[in-house]
Amino acid sequence: MKEIIISQAIKKKLPDLTLGCIECDVVISEGNSELWREIEAVCGTIGHSGELAEVGSHPAIRASRIAYRLCGKDPARYRLSSEALMRRVVKGHQLYRINNVVDLVNLISLKSGMSIGGYDVEKISGNVIFDIGQKDEPYEAIGRGDLNITSLPVFRDSVSSFGSPTSDSVRTSVTGSTKRFLMIIVGFSGDICTSETVELSLSLLKKYAKADNIETVLVR
Residue by residue, pLDDT tens for the chain (220 residues) are 999 999 999 999 999 999 999 999 999 998 789 999 999 999 988 876 666 767 888 899 999 999 999 999 999 999 999 999 999 999 888 898 999 999 999 999 999 999 999 999 999 999 999 999 999 999 999 999 999 999 999 999 999 999 999 999 999 999 999 999 999 999 998 777 899 999 999 999 999 999 999 999 999 9
User: Crossing angle, helix 59-71 and helix 81-90, to 10 degrees?
Assistant: 130
Q: What is the per-residue pLDDT for 50?
A: 60
Q: 42-51 burial, b for 16+ CB within 10 Å, e for fewer?
A: bbeebeeeee
Count of other CB atoms within 10 angstroms of residue 104: 24
Determine the 3-state secondary structure of 62 from DSSP: helix
How far is Cα 174 from Cα 118, in angstroms, rounded to an integer? 7
Residues forming a β-bridge with 169: 141
C-alpha 36/C-alpha 99 separation (Å) is 10
4-219, CATH topology level: Phenylalanyl-tRNA Synthetase; Chain B, domain 3 (3.50.40)
Q: pTM value?
A: 0.95
Which pLDDT value is given to residue 151? Answer: 97
pLDDT the model gives residue 54: 73
Neighbours of 138 (CB within 10 A): 10
pLDDT at position 189 is 84
